[in-house]
Amino acid sequence: MSRRSGAGRDRGESPAQRLIAGITRSGMRLMLRPVLRAGLPVEQQRRRLARVGRLTPTPRGVEYRAAFCGSVPGESVTVRDAPPAGCAILYLHGGGYCVGSPASHRVITGHLASRCAARVFAAAYRLAPEEPFPGAVDDAVAAYRGLLADGVAPSQIAIAGDSAGGGLAVATALRLRQLGWPQPAALVLFSPWVDLGLGALQPPSSGEVTLTKPWLEECARVYLAGHPADDPLASPIAADLRGLPPTLIQVGADELLLTDSRRMHAALVAAGVEAELQEYPRRWHVFQLNAGLLADANRALDAAGEFVRSRTPAATVAR
């Protein structure tokens, strides 16, 4: 089954939301463009991004605790005083495989924990240049196997990720298939980066607030470290996608990676995978990070929560 929707296309945006969106877009550009910049040492990018993350309000009633899943460090994200979670989400953060952390993406993981009635494990997978490809894939697979070892059934696990983490989520499912391990119940991809060869980027838009082609090129070079970009575990758009789980893709129409999302959706459909693509007009890369402020971000995470709950039927809403 395939579904492609222009999420919010027919929904009028209030004057207040237009103002909020404009202010948020400008603020994101001012905060992130100087951080995610080609030529800036990766250590400085990481420190600056961590400072930006500390300025972002997280949802109420959510607890973040340092944890391990298998051998992989990260954060366990749960709703305070809620019944035991009915499903688990393995979350893989974005950052071009070079920057980012569970802490930088707490807005998304917190809202997913609430909306999905889930225990979220945000993996602190190894980053390049210290650990190039396939270190991130190995860690994501190890974290998934850690969930299984904890007694979570595959039918109660979703793998989600944004940007590079979205591509990594698909790569994880592909690697699990190679190893003969069971697939998760669902994949949720926010603005996934699935082509490290950068073969079909969307032309730059003034609405893109985060990404630039030079920065993506630098991240791809550092992560690949001489490995071919068309390896399916690095660029899942090159993979045989048959047998992958139902997949939801969300993307902003103003972003540089719009074409990656469209191509991945088309490739999944061609492979017989149940896939849905939701495009949000006038929205930027991983706009879901603005949940709690931006109505479209709230709607997107509501849709992601509904998608996960429908594929993990034992889950109940913990609100």
Positions annotated as catalytic residues are 163, 255, 285
Phi, psi of 67 (to 5 degrees): -155, 165
Name the amino acid, one letter, at 283: R
Tell me how far apart the alpha carbons of residues 290 and 33 are, in angstroms, rounded to a whole number: 16
Q: Which residues contact 22 (CB under 8 A, 6 or more apart)?
A: none
Tell me how far apart the alpha carbons of residues 86 and 309 are, in angstroms, rounded to a whole number: 9
Q: Which two tokens stand for residue 173?
A: 């499912």
State the residue for tokens 């791809």. 220
Question: Do 113 and 119 contact (CB within 8 A), yes or no?
Answer: yes
Tell me how far apart the alpha carbons of residues 158 and 311 are, in angstroms, rounded to a whole number: 9
Q: Which two tokens stand for residue 55?
A: 């300025």
How many C-beta atoms lie closer than 10 Å to residue 68's C-beta?
14
Q: Which residues contact 11 (CB under 8 A, 6 or more apart)?
A: none
Q: Which residues contact 10 (CB under 8 A, 6 or more apart)?
A: none
